[in-house]
Chain A
């Protein structure tokens, strides 16, 4: 399989050659543009609904272009931010804590696995790897979390289960194993302990792979609804995605906020505005750091 390096270098070979206009190429561009637009269309629709006035929606239905353009839905959300702001806070907290601690624990586990001279390397590799092949499924997990760990309605339930993911550990291990071994040996001869080597040499040299795995973590936590669906009944600890799900089934959750009594809720547009506010940051992160994802996939996508 290729790496991104190859993906990026190959065009220069041919790009300089001038060729006559090619109808086949035009057709290919046309098809790809259409598929690309199809990918974008749903998002466009949601944004458009969120910017439409409630009356026009009731009259004409959803349209791909905002009708009776208004920011009322967003104003409405920002005026009574209680629940929404809280959900943002919960998601931001879970994402930050989960990503940082997950990265730390996963790389701490990956580093010994990358060391050929570590005597437990093989059994420990198997221990990590086996979790990719077999798992106990939802029921034992649920009972463990609720009855034995007492994590129901606890914010830790939204963080801990994803912290160590075998797949990330294996990618990190492969990457650590490719570090120049002389460098580590030199540090060892200078008397540096394993912890020091790890924090002062291994981690700083592994920034690219840490960025990739970090991004996987960020999106995983940011987009997660599963753990909340299983373990969270406390409305003040709902993460964003789960709140969205609850709003989908019951928009009146917003109205239970005492400040909103008496104001008619712009149900349709507010719901969609919530969705926009939820995926906006994720989309932004994605656009900003897309190349790290592409690299991550080409490193490990096959076995993901």
Chain B
């Protein structure tokens, strides 16, 4: 596994040269440095263009952007875009939905992944356990567009499976795609379906790393399975749980765009519960052409998200340096 990102463990073969030559260490090392830099160059340029230039572009949030004038030609407007954004109900709605849904995802995802990992651990020696893992893992590789087809197959008001079941039991069919109040639940299910396999593999790896001697000792003392889980497994993987949860909290301001855009089929009637910062930014930018509004919301997300990542990392570092991002 990777250790602290900035401190790879290998020994350092340092050149033994004077202060001046140490910079490049003679002609041979100069050549090495040149070659290595040349190798890195395409990647450096790609990151510059696709990662760093957009960071500079964040100043758009303080401008009245007009396509014809470009980034630098457009007029500065100070905080007007933010005043406009936070003057509407939308800012509150997208913030609440993003935080609320991501919190639900973190809690349900963690609990479900843990439970599955514990169950998998119990039957790990069985030949079928490999098939469980495959079945649970595969949804992670299905794109949200396809998931939206799946959900549609279940929830479509006229032909969907769920309404067939409801009417079979004498209930009234529900127009799922028109009723916002059901969507937190539907999105949570979709998210769980997509991510539980992935999460459980990480936890299972953590559980399998526990020294079997603990369990042997517990068995001799007559501990039941549940007691072993309660007093050995859970305490020993607690740091891993805390770290993973903290890292997800660091990303809590970023919603999974595909999930929130495709699965509810971008239906305005569902916005009260499904509109998140990412979908709002996309809609304002591409569909409504309201670039200032999109830029303000995007800036808000980038900056708050950055602060949250730093905070989360700070906490993780206090628990275990190895798991910190930096």
Q: Report the bound CA distance from A105 to B193 in whole Å.
A: 34
Interchain CB contact under 8 A, B2 and A278: no
Chain B residue nearest to A120 in the complex (CB): B37
**Please, what's the 1-or-0 string for A156-167, where 1 marks a CB less than 8 Å from any CB in chain B?**
000011011010
Interchain CB contact under 8 A, A139 and B281: yes
CB neighbours (8 Å) of A129 from chain B are 5-6, 326
Q: A42-B153, A244-B145 are in contact. Are A140 and B39 (CB under 8 A)?
A: no
Q: Is B135 an interface residue (CB 8 A)?
A: yes
Task: Name, among A113, A134, A283, the residue most crowded by chain B CB atoms within 10 Å (CB to CB).
Answer: A134
Chain B residue nearest to A145 in the complex (CB): B50
Q: Is A142 an interface residue (CB 8 A)?
A: yes
Restricting to A130-160, which residues have a CB under 8 Å from any CB of B?
Answer: 131-144, 147-149, 160
Interchain CB contact under 8 A, B60 and A140: yes
Chain A residue nearest to B112 in the complex (CB): A35
Q: Report the bound CA distance from A171 to B247 in whole Å.
A: 18
Q: Report the bound CA distance from A24 to B137 in whole Å.
A: 24
Q: Is A49 an interface residue (CB 8 A)?
A: yes
**Contact residue range for chain B?**
35 or more
Interchain CB contact under 8 A, A135 and B55: yes
Interchain CB contact under 8 A, B225 and A24: yes
CB distance from A127 to the nearest CB of B (A): 7
Restricting to B188-211, which residues have a CB under 8 Å from any CB of A?
Answer: 193, 196-198, 201-202, 204-206, 208-209
Q: Contact partner of A302 among B138, B204, B278, B323, CB < 8 A? A: B323
Restricting to B49-76, which residues have a CB under 8 Å from any CB of A?
Answer: 49-58, 60-61, 65, 67, 70-71
Q: Is A80 an interface residue (CB 8 A)?
A: no
Chain A residue nearest to B153 in the complex (CB): A45
Q: Contact partner of A163 among B8, B40, B46, CB < 8 A? A: B46
CB distance from B295 to the nearest CB of A (A): 5
**Please, what's the 1-or-0 string for B305-326, where 1 marks a CB less than 8 Å from any CB in chain A?**
0100110000000000001011
Chain B residue nearest to A25 in the complex (CB): B123
Interchain CB contact under 8 A, A275 and B149: yes
Q: Is B220 an interface residue (CB 8 A)?
A: no
**Please, what's the 1-or-0 string for A34-46, where 1 marks a CB less than 8 Å from any CB in chain B?**
0111111011011
Restricting to A166-182, which residues have a CB under 8 Å from any CB of B?
Answer: 166, 169-171, 173-174, 177-178, 181
For chains A and B in complex, what number of residue pairs have CB atoms within 8 angstroms?
Answer: 344
Q: A24-B122, A286-B138, A302-B323 are in contact. Are A46 and B209 (CB under 8 A)?
A: no
Q: Report the bound CA distance from A298 to B201 in whole Å.
A: 8
Interchain CB contact under 8 A, A244 and B302: no
Q: Is B156 an interface residue (CB 8 A)?
A: yes
CB distance from B141 to the nearest CB of A (A): 5
Interface of B with A (CB < 8 Å)?
1-2, 5-6, 8, 10-15, 23-24, 29, 31-33, 35-37, 39-40, 42-44, 46-47, 49-58, 60-61, 65, 67, 70-71, 116, 119-120, 122-126, 128-129, 131-139, 141-154, 156, 158-161, 163-164, 193, 196-198, 201-202, 204-206, 208-209, 212, 225, 240, 243-244, 247, 257-258, 262, 265, 278, 281-282, 285-286, 291, 294-295, 298-299, 301-302, 306, 309-310, 323, 325-326
Interface of A with B (CB < 8 Å)?
1-3, 6-7, 10-11, 13-15, 24-25, 28-29, 31-33, 35-40, 42-43, 45-46, 49, 57-58, 61-64, 105-106, 108-109, 111-120, 122, 124-129, 131-144, 147-149, 160-161, 163-164, 166, 169-171, 173-174, 177-178, 181, 193-195, 198, 219, 223-226, 229-230, 241-242, 244-245, 248-249, 268, 271-272, 275, 278-279, 282-283, 286-287, 290, 293-294, 297-303
